Chains A and B, each alone.
Chain A
Amino acid sequence: MLAQFLQFTMSGLTVGAVYAIVGLGFTIIYNASGVLNFAQGEFVMIGGMVTVFAVAAGVPLPLAILLAIAVAAIVGVALHRLAIEPAKDASPVVLIIITIGGALVIRGIAQIVFDKQLHKLPGFSGDTPVNFMGASILPQALWVLGGSALIVTLVTLFFAKTMIGKAVLATAANRLAAQLVGVNTSVILAISFALSATIGAIAGILVTPITFTNYEVGTMLALKGFAALVLGGLGSPAGAILGGMVLGLCESLSAGYLSSTYKDAFAFLVMIAVLLVMPSGLLGKPSAERV
């Protein structure tokens, strides 16, 4: 019984960690600019795909990983410079639609630059499962969990301790005031896109050995990450993490204990129930309409 519970929980946490990181990526850009970036899943895809193709071309794995992160960051900045910045005076809804367009463009380019096949990476520490109290756990799942925890810690420190991090928060709080005290808000927004792309890419790299990747893996992840975000509370980094974990656990526990046919429906039921009781999500602050 315990072994089964552990197996379900590990499965849920691993899947949930990815949702959480995607949700966190959404949050970073949302907090800095008020835009929900629906190209967030594409960063995850770029991370996985660039690593796969670099490794296939003979690049050593650590170098391939750095390359993939760099490519994702550049794409993130380019998305901001080419698509978001020129329309910065448009309403958030328009900007959101622009990001969806950006996602389609990135996906289309990936389809041409790479291919349409599914790809995998070997596990970083092999594919032999470890036995933990009767549950078999892939070493890669530990990489995903550890990597996610590290990302969350670093992002938290970045916002709390560094000047740039504080400048991002200042830009989010009031762009005009931030400009008045000398923050270059345009650079700050570009940085937030780069940061968001970076963590998305890392998630993509960590998870590819377990889930495979292809050019359109981002679509589903953007949806799940967004669900995690809404569940946790829009704009709250801790909320996005919690939301992702809860969503992942809901899926795996309902698949294990209830019925695998209805697991997605169950996850969404939980979401609706939470939002009915707490309309701003688990950790979101109640929002007030500014007039």
Chain B
Amino acid sequence: MTMNRLWEDDMRFLKSTPVLAGFALAAGFSLAPAMAQDIKIGAVLSVTGPASFLGDPEEKTLKMYVEEINAKGGIKGRKLQLITYDDGGDANKARTFATRLVEEDKVVAMVGGSTTGTTMAMGPVFEDAQIPFISLAGAVVIIEPLKKFVFKTPHTDRMACEKIFEDMKKRGLTKIGMISGTDGFGKSMRDECVKVNARFGIEILAEESYGPRDTDMTPQLTNLKAKAGIQAVVNPGFGQGPAIVTRNFRQLGMTMPLYQSHGVASKQFIELAGEAANGVRLPAAALLVADKLPASDPQKPVAQAYAKKFQDATRQPVSTFGGHAYDGLMILAGAIERGGANPKAIRDEIEKTKGFMGTAGIFTMSPTDHMGLDLTAFKMLEIKAGDWAIAE
């Protein structure tokens, strides 16, 4: 028998008897017995890479609030243990980490998936393992067709299109051009916009696209500018693309209204686009304008509290993305509170979430709706003098 085997046998002995707990207590690790009962939840996020502006605030938010829940004594006396992995925005890596969460870490639920691409790659892993998965990504394909164990907290891209078209209709704009990113988010939102535009009497006269790492969109915009009759331009996309589009748009002297998506709802967009951002409209969660909401708005306290906590802890401006992580974690915490820490029970309870007030709006899930938000959760914002303003 080798030394290794001996050691393992010893360990087995220790684990199988209360001796370990005794040792630990003797050594002063009074937490050791509780450790064994921690509720493990996983998070695969794009903390680095092109989607780091999503994953970074999401990770910070999750860590911050798991700590807060634990400081208050956990959920029904059991502490949460958060296991995070960084997929760098790479769908293949995300899938590998998802498998690791399921097989090695044995989590009971997962909050994460920063992008639509990584979420779609991880979905089947959790679906097969029957572990609930609350995604933080935007596209409607995540919950349509419905998957039993997959949920999401952000508004869908279809809702963003509807909100934009609704606003256009109010302003009498009916003929538009579109310039979309070819990343998962931009492509999915573009497809949704093209499906619902007719319902709002909006005609898409011309369409252009750009790659997620492109640095100059003037050729595409020159074509939109030259197309006769275009009254407004919509830019589905996230990351640096929309900021460059916005700057190129002004560079070319285009004066029609420009609509961005909720994908750029962060102060970083305004910083990058600079002066050019003024006048841009986009649909976004009320969180961005928490302080500007009327006092009667039921969402105000939640949004303000989250914004304050995030800004105090990170010294960074609040973005809606971190808010989605907050919503996801709180929905999950609520479900565990009600139904216990069994994956299937958690799934059933998430589905029964009703009237939960999150940063993105009021969530009411159902067996046919795994997101639970409606259009009222969106506010149409306009960027004025480098800040958000409510445009309704």
Contacts and interface: CB of A to CB of B under 8 A. Distances in A.
Contact of A7 (B215, B222, B239, B268): B222
A15 B220 contact: no
Given A127-B274, A138-B251, A260-B209, A117 B215 contact: no
A15 B272 contact: no
B209 A210 contact: no
A105 to B, nearest CB: 15
B208 interface: yes
B223 to A, nearest CB: 6
Interface in B138-170: none
B118 interface: no
A190 B49 CA distance: 31
A117 B53 contact: yes
Nearest to B50: A216
Given A116-B56, A136-B252, A212-B243, A11 B219 contact: yes
Contacts of B239: 118
A15 B210 CA distance: 14
A15, A111, A136: most-surrounded residue (chain B CB, <10 A): A136
Nearest to B271: A120
A127 B275 contact: yes
A264 interface: yes
A274 interface: no
A7 B217 CA distance: 11
Given A116-B56, A117-B268, A127-B274, A8 B219 contact: yes
Contact of B210 (A207, A210, A212, A260): A260
Interface string B223-248: 10010000000000001100110010
Interface string B25-47: 00000000000000000000001
B213 A220 contact: yes
Nearest to A141: B216
A118 B215 contact: no
A220 B239 CA distance: 15
Given A120-B274, A212-B243, A256 B213 contact: no
Interface of A, secondary structure class, is helix
Given A211-B244, A260-B209, A260-B210, A129 B222 contact: no
A4 B222 contact: yes
A137 B243 CA distance: 17
B211 interface: yes
A96 B141 CA distance: 41
Nearest to A261: B209
B240 A15 contact: no
Contact of B218 (A11, A120, A127, A211): A11
Contacts of A252: 216, 218-219
A255 interface: yes
Contacts of B210: 255, 260
Contacts, number: 82
Contact of B240 (A11, A118, A255): A118
Contacts of B211: 263-264
Interface in A234-289: 252-253, 255-256, 260-261, 263-264
Nearest to A122: B274
Given A129-B251, A129-B253, A212-B244, A260 B220 contact: yes
Nearest to A108: B48
Interface in B47-69: 47-50, 52-53, 56
A15 B222 contact: no
A37 interface: no
B364 interface: no
A11 B223 CA distance: 13
B182 interface: yes
Contacts of B271: 120
Contacts of B275: 127
B51 to A, nearest CB: 10
Nearest to B266: A117
Interface in A109-155: 111, 116-118, 120, 127, 129, 136, 138
Given A116-B52, A129-B253, A256 B272 contact: no
Contact of B215 (A138, A210, A253): A210
Contacts of B222: 4, 7-8, 256
A261 B53 CA distance: 25
Interface string B195-225: 0000000000000111101011011101100
A54 to B, nearest CB: 18
Q: Which 6 A-B pairs have the closest CB atoms?
A: A211-B215, A256-B219, A116-B52, A255-B219, A11-B218, A129-B251
Interface of A: 4, 7-8, 10-12, 14-15, 111, 116-118, 120, 127, 129, 136, 138, 207, 210-212, 216, 220, 252-253, 255-256, 260-261, 263-264
28 contacts: A7-B218, A8-B218, A8-B222, A14-B216, A116-B47, A116-B53, A117-B52, A117-B53, A117-B268, A118-B239, A118-B243, A118-B268, A127-B247, A127-B275, A129-B252, A136-B251, A136-B252, A210-B215, A210-B216, A211-B216, A212-B240, A212-B272, A216-B49, A252-B218, A255-B208, A255-B210, A260-B210, A260-B220
Given A117-B52, A136-B251, A207-B215, 12 more contacts: A4-B222, A4-B226, A8-B218, A116-B47, A118-B272, A210-B215, A210-B216, A212-B272, A252-B216, A255-B208, A255-B210, A260-B208
